[in-house]
Chain A
Amino acid sequence: MTIRPGTDGDVPVTASTNADLGAPAQTPPSPDKGMFGVKGTGDVSGFGRLVRPRPAVFDSPRPYGGYFDDVYDALEEAYPAFSEAIEKVVVDRAELTLHIRPERITDVCQVMRDDESLRFELCSSVDAVDYLGSDERRFHISYQLTSMTYRRRVRLEVSVADAVPVPSVTGVYPTADWQEREIYDMFGVVFPGHPNLTRILMPDDWEGHPQRKDYPLGGVPVEYKGAEIPPPDQRRVYQ
């Protein structure tokens, strides 16, 4: 879980300050000093250097319990390419997660919305998680679907490697428009088929994607009234 700032070329931590702007001296950051001159990771818990093994996610055995079996069976019946679209089925903490192959996500959403035994009319949320260091497919995109007819919730999950596109579901759920833009903005995942995939929360000319795990917190210089203060990890240390 150790996150070192400035390891990815994508991240603007090494913004060059070309002149002396009155900011503290631009001493190169010491490799073992973190933010604000803290030694180590800056994590005060004492567990900062522990490397946590990432638990593997396993297929849950049937029966899944509750309405989960109904949803699974209904999708299997309604969607002919079911077996090749589903990678994994996970039931955890009373929530059903269907892991879908990225290229199939639009079709699966279409069936989930339209089939009368499924009827997931509302796409509640679309968001991403960066599992950096787990395997090649670090970005997991979750679609939280809600069936108002049956009062059910299901999560679809798609995992992709960096720079691999995920088909947009805006054709099925127009509400995913801004949420996919946010994922593009924060993680850099591209959604072909999206009508207007631009940044939404960060400024248009921002470099890097802030919610990636290799993007540091506070790793950009602070600009104020023309002067530029370097990011905390590059400031002079008083000790």
Chain B
Amino acid sequence: MTTSEYASARETTEGRVFTVTGGDWDSVTSSIDPLSNEKIVVNMGPQHPSTHGVLRLVLELEGETVTEARPVVGYLHTGIEKNLEYRTWTQGVTFVTRMDYLANMSNETAYCLAVEKLLGITDQITERTQTIRVMFMELQRIASHLVWLATTGMELGAISMMLYGFREREYILDIFEETSGLRMNNGYIRPGGLAQDLPDSAVKKIRDFLVYLPKKLKEYEAMLSGQVIWQKRTQGVAVLDVTGCLALGITGPVLRSAGLPWDLRKTMPYCGYETYEFDVPTATTGDVWGRYLVRLAEIKESLKIVEQALDRLRPGPIWVADKKIAWPAQLALGVDGLGNSLEHVAKIMGQSMESLIHHFKLVTEGFRVPPGQVYVAVEHPRGELGVHAVSDGGTHPYRVHYREPSFVNLQAIPAMAEGALLADVIAGGASLDPVMGGCDR
């Protein structure tokens, strides 16, 4: 063999080991003796466009068949759970929204539900806040599924789908921006309420979106569902049945694609989901195709929920009545953007020293949460998102642990990939929809 510029070789006790740096596979494979060296270990990632962020897969190949797959995670670990312990309960929202960056609203709501349960104010959350939370979580689910459709399309060769998916998602991010000021990492849902009220301009945008998306969805279905390449790349690929899913703790669309209609919005409702009319889509194939169908159907169900939420939206307070918890700001649109209303500032600065003290203490020190622990779970776009929050009675969380569906679901990669073809590892991994920011936290 001649050592090519792409693959340097060195001898080890197990045989010859190549370090492939890219490019020319022919020069690598032709130099391998087919009789003695059948196994190749391929290190896919962590920088690989089709591993959804910084996921690394160590694959042992025999020809094109994967004999062993080992996912390696942790490249995006940022110590969010540790950081939370050094901030107030309200500031925690800013951190948790950055975990799964495609499902900010779900992260925030789960966290806030946990804090509210610890505080014992779950039933004091106002009707309007509940409705907005539900609406935003569903818009978030649509956005997340659109990104899934986009990236999976790209990975399986349907590049147009990527452009369309990201384009449609941008409409939702516009709605979030209109409301919270930020496209992503909104920090919008707060313990006890919302950062600010939903403006009328955002309501109009949501109404427009409800008309816009169904038309586009039909086009995407027409583009992908009937396409032979798409079918061949997804049908019968990366099959995982219900038993496998439960053993590995897989929830969300992957579990539902295997046929079990387990959706926390129906089975263990929160935020008043039991009052909305929607179905839980399932498939029975348990393969990538089934997950595609389930996610498409879920987008439509989410649109139904958003519509119902919009219809029942009534003016009203967004914060809990308890002034020891509710954020003291009286927000108004000023010339320089969103800020405290001048009246409020004039009042607390000029007339009421107590209001000023209260405002200052609540914002800098935060509220106290009675000691104890809770576990709250919501149906995240990727499965069960659980928050285990522990308080020791102080103004900071004692511990917050996120049961991240991306983290748990990635354990299924060996079960899906081993024995299959290398190309199907991409399809299978994509069908899990892992977001590494959430996985590594």
Proximity bits, A181-198, B CB within 8 Å = 1, else 0:
010000000000000000
The answer to whether A178 and B247 have CB atoms under 8 Å apart is no
Is A72 on the interface with B (CB-CB < 8 A)? no
Q: Residues of A contacting B372 with CB < 8 Å? A: 92-93
The answer to whether B395 and A47 have CB atoms under 8 Å apart is yes
Question: Which chain A residues numbered 1 to 54 have a C-beta less than 8 Å away from chain B?
Answer: 1, 44-47, 52, 54
Query: Complex: how many Å from CA A210 to CA B84?
Result: 13
The smallest C-beta distance from B381 to any residue of chain A, in angstroms, reads: 17
Indicate whether A175 sits within 8 Å of B249 (C-beta atoms), given known contacts A95-B375, A201-B440: yes
Q: Residues of B contacting A199 with CB < 8 Å? A: 74
The answer to whether B262 and A148 have CB atoms under 8 Å apart is yes
Binds A, one of B9-17, B26-34, B309-317, B400-408: B400-408
Residue of A nearest to B243 (CB): A121
Binds B, one of A73-81, A124-132, A221-229: A124-132
Is A161 on the interface with B (CB-CB < 8 A)? no
Q: Within the complex, which residue of B74, B88, B246, B371 is in contact with A202, where a contact is CB–CB below 8 Å?
A: B74
Query: Complex: how many Å from CA A52 to CA B392?
Result: 8
Indicate whether A95 sits within 8 Å of B386 (C-beta atoms), given known contacts A47-B395, A122-B249, A202-B74: no
The smallest C-beta distance from A200 to any residue of chain B, in angstroms, reads: 6
Question: Which chain A residues numbered 144 to 184 have a C-beta less than 8 Å away from chain B?
Answer: 144, 146, 148, 151, 153, 155, 173-179, 182
Q: Residues of A contacting B410 with CB < 8 Å? A: 178
The smallest C-beta distance from A88 to any residue of chain B, in angstroms, reads: 14
Query: Complex: how many Å from CA A144 to CA B398?
Result: 18
Question: Which chain B residues numbered 352 to 391 have a C-beta less than 8 Å away from chain A?
Answer: 364-366, 371-375, 377, 384, 386, 388, 390
Indicate whether A55 sits within 8 Å of B74 (C-beta atoms), given known contacts A123-B249, A175-B248: no
Query: Complex: how many Å from CA A155 to CA B372?
Result: 13
The answer to whether A151 and B390 have CB atoms under 8 Å apart is no
Q: Residues of B contacting A129 with CB < 8 Å? A: 373, 390, 398-399, 401
Query: Complex: how many Å from CA A130 to CA B401?
Result: 12
The answer to whether A55 and B371 have CB atoms under 8 Å apart is yes
Q: Within the complex, which residue of A46, A92, A142, A146 is in contact with B365, where a contact is CB–CB below 8 Å?
A: A46
The smallest C-beta distance from B16 to any residue of chain A, in angstroms, reads: 25
Q: Residues of A contacting B82 with CB < 8 Å? A: 210-211, 217
The answer to whether B248 and A125 have CB atoms under 8 Å apart is no
Q: Residues of A contacting B394 with CB < 8 Å? A: 1, 47, 52
The answer to whether A211 and B81 have CB atoms under 8 Å apart is yes
Question: Which chain B residues numbered 251 to 276 have a C-beta less than 8 Å away from chain A?
Answer: 251, 260, 262, 267-268
Indicate whether A124 sits within 8 Å of B248 (C-beta atoms), given known contacts A95-B375, A211-B82: no
Is B49 on the interface with A (CB-CB < 8 A)? no
Query: Complex: how many Å from CA A46 to CA B248?
Result: 46
Q: Residues of B contacting A146 with CB < 8 Å? A: 384
The answer to whether B77 and A44 have CB atoms under 8 Å apart is no
Indicate whether A217 sits within 8 Å of B86 (C-beta atoms), given known contacts A52-B392, A124-B386: yes
Is B120 on the interface with A (CB-CB < 8 A)? yes
Is B422 on the interface with A (CB-CB < 8 A)? no
The answer to whether A55 and B393 have CB atoms under 8 Å apart is yes
Residue of A nearest to B407 (CB): A178
Proximity bits, B59-75, A CB within 8 Å = 1, else 0:
00000000000000110
Indicate whether A202 sits within 8 Å of B77 (C-beta atoms), given known contacts A173-B249, A174-B247, A175-B408: yes
Indicate whether A200 sits within 8 Å of B118 (C-beta atoms), given known contacts A124-B403, A144-B375, A210-B82: no
User: Chain B contact residues (Cβ within 8 angstroms of A): what range?
Assistant: 35 or more
- Interface on chain B toward A: helix, strand, loop, or mixed SS? mixed
Query: Complex: how many Å from CA A203 to CA B388?
Result: 25
Q: Residues of A contacting B392 with CB < 8 Å? A: 1, 52, 54-55
The smallest C-beta distance from B398 to any residue of chain A, in angstroms, reads: 7
Residue of B nearest to A46 (CB): B365
User: Chain A contact residues (Cβ within 8 angstroms of B): what range?
Assistant: 35 or more
Q: Residues of B contacting A177 with CB < 8 Å? A: 411
The smallest C-beta distance from A145 to any residue of chain B, in angstroms, reads: 10
The answer to whether A92 and B373 have CB atoms under 8 Å apart is yes
Q: Residues of A contacting B388 with CB < 8 Å? A: 125, 127, 142, 144
The smallest C-beta distance from A106 to any residue of chain B, in angstroms, reads: 16
Residue of B nearest to A152 (CB): B268
Query: Complex: how many Å from CA A47 to CA B394?
Result: 9
Indicate whether A175 sits within 8 Å of B83 (C-beta atoms), given known contacts A45-B366, A125-B386, A202-B77: no
Query: Complex: how many Å from CA A55 to CA B368?
Result: 15
The answer to whether A178 and B117 have CB atoms under 8 Å apart is no
The answer to whether B373 and A151 have CB atoms under 8 Å apart is no
Is B79 on the interface with A (CB-CB < 8 A)? yes
The answer to whether B248 and A174 have CB atoms under 8 Å apart is yes
Q: Point out which of B88, B118, B120, B249 has the most chain A C-beta atoms below 10 A from its C-beta.
A: B249
Indicate whether A144 sits within 8 Å of B403 (C-beta atoms), given known contacts A45-B364, A93-B118: yes
The answer to whether A178 and B399 have CB atoms under 8 Å apart is no
The answer to whether A155 and B375 have CB atoms under 8 Å apart is yes
Query: Complex: how many Å from CA A58 to CA B209?
Result: 52
Q: Residues of B contacting A125 with CB < 8 Å? A: 375, 386, 388, 401, 403
Q: Which 7 A-B pairs have the closest CB atoms?
A: A175-B249, A125-B403, A127-B401, A45-B365, A201-B74, A201-B77, A129-B399
Interface residues of B (CB under 8 A from A): 73-74, 77, 79, 81-83, 85-86, 88, 117-118, 120, 246-251, 260, 262, 267-268, 364-366, 371-375, 377, 384, 386, 388, 390, 392-395, 398-399, 401, 403, 407-408, 410-411, 440-441
Given A124-B403, A151-B267, A178-B407, 6 more pairs with CB closer than 8 A: A52-B392, A148-B262, A173-B249, A178-B73, A210-B79, A211-B82
Interface residues of A (CB under 8 A from B): 1, 44-47, 52, 54-55, 92-93, 95, 97, 121-125, 127, 129-130, 142, 144, 146, 148, 151, 153, 155, 173-179, 182, 199-203, 210-211, 217
13 CB-based A-B contacts, threshold 8 Å:
A47-B394, A93-B374, A122-B249, A122-B251, A125-B401, A129-B398, A144-B386, A144-B388, A148-B246, A176-B249, A200-B73, A201-B441, A217-B83
